[in-house]
């Protein structure tokens, strides 16, 4: 009896760990395979292998030396950073008002912000195109910084509002007794407490801006102004039938590695930020 019971327990453990291994392999394999491919060249590329067989930096060298990829990389960094800084700057005061002050229409405003974050981007594309052309920023990074506000701002406002709501009222009351104005309360009292939340929100908004495709595809038209996702999507070889898979994979790895490293470092914070943006909605 004892023997069969143990066997059942063992089977359960084995099955559980098999599931765990399966989840890990499925999650990681495509990225692993992209890295594997990025180090292959020539005919090696077209031989399917499951383990590293050859090793060459050639694809990396050609993606970083030829064409506009370094410029695209810089565009992406610039656009995503400026977008995030602007969004955080506008969001922090708005989040204070939405979380700490009672006023009429607050619920409606919060609903509107949530609604905007659910907007299909295609619905504003035509109108934004007109505004972008009117402002004379078509085919510049500013067109993207401007348009990305539509998803980074509602998101940052929403997450910072949920975070600020949880800050203890006593801190604020003490500051009010000392005669602090709301502006002083935000900058001197809340900001020091908010750093973790700002980092998390900023990082998530950064990733969203870094990955954005539709606006970047529509509002830029030359190789030099494109961001990385568009550049990778449009990378092509000498002819229509010759897709440079090695170079595409090298570019993909270059774009993804910093994100994966950031995400792994800030794992816990990102998970809590995601759930604040989602579940508490």
Partner 1 sequence: MTTEAIAPPVVVPGRAIKSELMRQRARAARWFLVPMMIALAVVAGWPLLRSIWFSFTDASLTNLVGANFVGFNNYLRWTTLASGRTVFQGLLVDPAWWNAVWNTLRFAVTSVFFEALFGMAVALVLNAEFKGRGIVRAAILIPWAIPTVVSAKMWSWMLNDQFGILNDLGMRLGLLSQKVAWTASPETAMTAVLVVDIWKTTPFMALLILAGLQMIPKDIYEAAEIDGVHPVKQFFKITLPLVRPALMVAIIFRLLDAMRIFDLIYVLTPNSVATKTMSVLARENLFDFDKFAYGSAQATLLFLIIAGMTILYIWLGKVRFDGGDR
Cite the DSSP H helix spans in the chain.
2-38, 58-65, 69-100, 106-117, 122-134, 141-165, 169-177, 182-184, 191-211, 214-219, 228-234, 245-265, 267-278
As measured in angstroms, the least distance from the Cβ of 119 to partner 1 is: 6
Residues 31-50 that bind partner 1 (CB under 8 A): 31, 33-34, 37, 45-46, 48, 50
Q: Choose which of 11, 27, 53, 54 interacts with partner 1 (CB under 8 A).
A: 27
Q: State the Cα–Cα distance between residues 209 and 222, nearest whole angstrom.
A: 19
Label residue 235 left, alpha or beta by phi (over 0 means left) and psi (-120 to 50 means alpha): beta
CB 166 within 8 A of CB 95: no
Nearer to partner 1, 71 or 180 (CB): 180
Q: Identify the residue among 73, 88, 143, 157 touching partner 1 (CB under 8 A).
A: 157
Please identify, among the stretches 3-11, 56-64, 190-198, 206-214, the one whose residues bind partner 1 according to the rule CB under 8 A. Answer: 206-214
Residue 142 touches partner 1, criterion: CB under 8 A: no
Contact between 74 and partner 1 by CB under 8 A: the answer reads no
From candidates 131, 137, 180, 199, binder to partner 1 by CB under 8 A: 131
Look-up: residue for tokens 């292998």?
49
Q: Does 147 bind partner 1 (CB under 8 A)?
A: yes
Counting contacts by CB under 8 A, is residue 229 touching partner 1?
yes
Backbone angles phi, psi at 35, to 5 degrees: -60, -45
| Residue 271 sits in the site that holds partner 1 (CB under 8 A) | yes
Report which of 114, 191, 199, 200 is spatially closest to residue 158, judged by C-alpha positions.
Answer: 114
Q: In the bound complex, what is the minimum distance in angstroms from residue 233's beta carbon to partner 1?
A: 5
Question: Judged by CB under 8 A, does residue 189 bind partner 1?
Answer: no
- Does 16 engage in binding with partner 1 (CB under 8 A)? yes
In the DSSP assignment, the letter for residue 190 is: I
């Amino acid at each position: 009896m004892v023997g069969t019971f143990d066997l059942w327990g063992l089977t359960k453990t084995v099955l559980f760990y098999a599931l765990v291994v399966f989840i890990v392999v499925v999650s990681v394999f495509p990225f692993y395979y992209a890295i594997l491919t990025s180090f292959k060249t020539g005919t090696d590329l077209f031989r399917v292998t499951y383990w590293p067989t050859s090793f060459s930096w050639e694809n990396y060298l050609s993606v970083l030396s030829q064409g506009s990829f370094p410029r695209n990389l810089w565009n992406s960094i610039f656009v995503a950073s400026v977008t995030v800084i602007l969004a955080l700057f506008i969001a922090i005061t708005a989040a204070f008002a939405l979380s700490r002050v009672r006023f009429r229409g607050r619920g409606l405003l919060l609903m509107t912000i949530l609604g905007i974050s659910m907007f299909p981007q295609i619905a504003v594309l035509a109108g934004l195109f007109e505004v972008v052309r009117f402002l004379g920023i078509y085919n510049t990074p500013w067109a993207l910084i401007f348009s990305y506000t539509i998803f980074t701002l509602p998101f940052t406002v929403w997450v910072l509002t949920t975070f600020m709501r949880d800050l203890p009222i006593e801190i604020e009351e003490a500051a009010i007794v000392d005669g602090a104005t709301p502006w002083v309360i935000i900058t001197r009292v809340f900001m020091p407490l908010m750093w973790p939340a700002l980092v998390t929100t900023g990082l998530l908004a950064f990733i969203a801006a870094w990955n954005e495709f539709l606006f970047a595809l529509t509002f830029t038209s030359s190789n030099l102004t494109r961001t990385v996702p568009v550049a990778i999507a449009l990378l092509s070889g000498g002819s229509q039938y010759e897709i440079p898979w090695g170079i595409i994979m090298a570019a993909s790895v270059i774009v993804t590695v910093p994100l994966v490293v950031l995400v792994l470092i800030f794992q816990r914070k990102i998970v809590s930020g995601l759930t604040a943006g989602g579940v508490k909605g």
